[in-house]
C-alpha cells in the first residue's frame, strides 16, 4: 500500500511551479530579444520586400525604355546618314 508523502508532494509542486516560472522567463526573454532585433533592424534602414520589388520593377521598366529609345535614336541616325551619303556622291555626266 502506498501512502502519500508530504515531502514528495511539496517537491512535485515546487518543480511544477519552477517549470511555470521558467516558461514565463523564456517567453519574456524571447519578447525582449525580438524587441531588440526589431529596433536594430529599424535603425539599419533596411527595405521591405515590397519596397525592393517596387524599385526593381521601376528599374526594369526604365531599362526597357532606354533600350527602346536607343533603338529609335539608332534608326533616326541611320535614316539621317543615308540621304547624306547620296548627296555627297560625285555626279557622272
pTM of the predicted protein model: 0.45
**Torsion region of 45: left, alpha or beta (phi above 0 gives left; psi -120 to 50 gives alpha):** left
Alpha carbon separation from 70 to 61, 64, 77, 79, 81 (Å, rounded): 14, 10, 10, 14, 16
pLDDT digits (tens, 9 = 90+) for 4-57: 788 888 999 999 999 999 999 999 999 999 999 989 988 888 888 999 999 999
pLDDT grade, residue 67 (50/70/90)?
Answer: very high
CA distance 81 to 40: 60
CA distance 93 to 91: 6
pLDDT number for residue 88: 58
Amino acid at each position: 500500500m502506498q501512502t502519500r508523502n508530504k515531502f514528495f508532494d511539496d517537491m512535485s509542486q515546487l518543480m511544477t511551479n519552477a517549470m511555470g516560472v521558467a516558461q514565463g522567463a523564456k517567453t519574456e526573454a524571447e519578447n525582449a530579444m525580438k524587441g531588440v532585433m526589431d529596433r536594430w533592424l529599424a535603425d539599419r534602414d533596411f527595405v521591405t520586400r515590397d519596397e525592393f520589388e517596387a524599385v526593381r520593377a521601376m528599374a526594369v521598366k526604365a531599362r526597357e525604355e532606354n533600350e527602346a529609345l536607343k533603338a529609335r535614336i539608332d534608326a533616326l541616325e541611320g535614316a539621317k546618314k543615308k540621304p547624306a551619303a547620296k548627296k555627297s556622291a560625285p555626279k557622272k555626266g
